[in-house]
Structure 1
């Protein structure tokens, strides 16, 4: 348990156990301590017959969680040996898997901003609530990183090539598109969320949802599949970009301009990771792959540079190396998927992600 000033608050009311991410000044950014606390609580509640439902929310008005604490990852990659970040990801990805397989209803309130690690805490849950304020994204390529926390698993299973579009561009989506892409289950107006959470303490999840779920506003992505699906079906980042630039829809050209500003290495690795995730099977195998990719990213210049440009110095002018997709070789990409030996994540057992990167 934590006190009223802890980074995560826990309490039970009636039949529901509550998790509240409690770092509102940094939009509830997730650190290693928070991961450990949440995992411990979930273990305890799973054995507690008095707890029938778990509900996760974020403190403050801005959102559930903006992602992992990337400042600490930047410092570890730049000045340390990467072991602290690898340990964080090890426990975080295990937590993502626990949430996905949790034996009791796990209700994630995805109100406001939900990005990166926040998606990992919510979109693997059994009941995922979005509101008109929801802004959901996996924006990792913008900091020289690759979608993780099971993000490549989730996006690989989105309809058509919508997941490829979201993974490569890092685009933010609202409630309707989160539902379309399989990242959420139900729409509840934000002013009804508090009442929903209160009802979850007193009644089964299905009954509480029936009181508050409403039809979702329409999203934008369904109408854009006429260019998203054919453009992102291409086999390489270069061809995807060329197809987007050649398409007459202005939104396609905007997507191309976004890709041209992203880390070329991160784009190429992300595309391979997504295509492999479609074939790997269960979430655990994909998390094992993501762990390899994340650990490899620690020794590349783009992760440190991307976080510097977006978060540390905020000049929004990263200097990627290589600075074009043509400069990223197949060998460069394969290195991200190399086995880690005794340091594997191991969620799916030995040799779970030995498929060649291609």
Structure 2
């Protein structure tokens, strides 16, 4: 089967190594790959011989996201409910990984975007390298950061005052940690709204990655892991790296209540200090879909009123179904049809201006859809009797 060649499986004693194998497509997840991964993760969880699952990508990318071209074709043909099945299975996979009872390691060497974050950030251990490039670019495509992003983006420093971890670069040096002085940073909103790219150092600093390992040492690390024969956590060789350098500006600007206020604050900041990073952030926001920006800000903020990743995924599924249906805005269909199918880029948004996207319009994306023929709410598999220590957390 194609899905078997697209997800390679290596059996090494008590370790199973899964390799995403679509290097020409930067390991973008097609539906077959998603169902295959879900099947494998569930099977390994039930297999007492398996103690560790490693997930990595072939080529220059870990995973550049979901391959949604078939979904867009279905929407264009008036069959958006078929696309809902793709997202239902994808979110179920994300949930299983977030609640996995065995040790799971994602080696994020290369591009990690969109759906690629969904199969890595929810895992227990997340290894970044000097080649890692992370982003959630959905607002530029008329969508919103999904795959549980409202959960993990909302937990970035420092809404809960969580520590930023920095690890020693030489073996046998104990990791050290420190707390960033600000406890009200809005890094999650910044990453979600702007689609900003973070490198491996920045991922480690903000907690999206748990460890940093130079790419030249990944093979040796993998060999060491396979020799352990244990389910105990492994001590990784890592490196001391600077914390994200723009957190103070993000705190001042991205913590505003509305997207309009965020842009206005950034513009005032740029007048006082014409920094290229601030100007690039303004350009990114003005380039993105107005509807997507407002949905994203609400989504990340709203997560803070719910308890777990499962609720976030259920809500995001309802949101993505509203987006696919296209009654409120056709940004996703128009942009991805142009960009992914005929390779033209459109930047004509609907609505075109932020002030035209009302709170009432945004509210509609968060409501259950009518029980129309062929549509059902997301039903996540039962994951009971799991100790809290293995739940996905930053």
The TM-score with structure 1 as length reference comes to 0.91
CA shift, 1:3, in A, is 7.8
Cα separation, 1, equivalents of 2:381 and 2:252: 33
C-alpha change, 1:4 and 1:78, in structure 2 (3 Å) is: closer
Structure 1 stretch displaced more, 45-54 or 242-251: 242-251
Does 1:296 find its partner at 2:350? Answer: no
Higher helix proportion (structure 1 or 2):
1
Alignment of 1:37-52 (within 5 A): 37-52=36-51
C-alpha change, 1:142 and 1:316, in structure 2 (3 Å) is: same
C-alpha change, 1:205 and 1:152, in structure 2 (3 Å) is: farther
CA shift, 1:50, in A, is 1.2
Cα separation, 2, equivalents of 1:233 and 1:163: 10
Over aligned residues, Cα RMSD in angstroms?
2.0
Cα separation, 1, equivalents of 2:212 and 2:106: 12
Cα separation, 1, equivalents of 2:66 and 2:296: 18
Q: Which residue is equivalent to 2:134?
A: 136
CA shift, 1:333, in A, is 0.8
Alignment of 1:272-351 (within 5 A): 272-300=298-326, 301-340=330-369, 343-347=376-380
Residue-by-residue CA offset, 1:162-185 (whole Å, 9 max, x unaligned): 110000001110112112332110
Contact 2:134 2:197 in 1 (8 A): yes
How many residues align? The count is: 344
Contact 2:153 2:188 in 1 (8 A): yes
Contact 1:277 1:286 in 2 (8 A): yes
C-alpha change, 1:321 and 1:141, in structure 2 (3 Å) is: same
Cα separation, 1, equivalents of 2:230 and 2:130: 21
Correspondent of 1:94 among 89, 92, 95: 92
C-alpha change, 1:4 and 1:162, in structure 2 (3 Å) is: closer
Cα separation, 1, equivalents of 2:70 and 2:105: 29
Q: Alignment partner of 2:65: what SS?
A: coil
Unaligned 5+ residue runs, structure 2? 158-184, 383-394
Q: Which residue is equivalent to 1:29?
A: 28
C-alpha change, 1:33 and 1:5, in structure 2 (3 Å) is: closer
Cα separation, 2, equivalents of 1:4 and 1:182: 32
Contact 1:77 1:298 in 2 (8 A): yes
Residue-by-residue CA offset, 1:83-114 (whole Å, 9 max, x unaligned): 22210111111110110111110010000001
Correspondent of 2:192 among 167, 170, 173: 167
Correspondent of 2:237 among 181, 189, 213: 213
Contact 1:64 1:111 in 2 (8 A): yes
Cα separation, 2, equivalents of 1:238 and 1:63: 35
Cα separation, 1, equivalents of 2:249 and 2:258: 16
CA shift, 1:76, in A, is 1.9
Q: Which residue is equivalent to 2:286?
A: 260
C-alpha change, 1:313 and 1:75, in structure 2 (3 Å) is: same
Contact 2:205 2:241 in 1 (8 A): no
Does 1:244 find its partner at 2:266? Answer: yes
Q: Which residue is equivalent to 2:173?
A: none
Q: Which residue is equivalent to 1:228?
A: 250
Contact 2:72 2:333 in 1 (8 A): yes
Does 1:269 find its partner at 2:295? Answer: yes
Contact 1:67 1:116 in 2 (8 A): yes
Correspondent of 1:182 among 207, 219, 223: 207
Unaligned 5+ residue runs, structure 1? 350-358
Cα separation, 2, equivalents of 1:127 and 1:67: 19
Cα separation, 1, equivalents of 2:38 and 2:343: 33
CA shift, 1:305, in A, is 2.0
Does 1:192 find its partner at 2:217? Answer: yes
Cα separation, 2, equivalents of 1:186 and 1:119: 16
Q: Alignment partner of 2:18: what SS?
A: strand
Contact 1:3 1:9 in 2 (8 A): no
Contact 2:108 2:132 in 1 (8 A): yes
Q: Alignment partner of 1:6: what SS?
A: helix
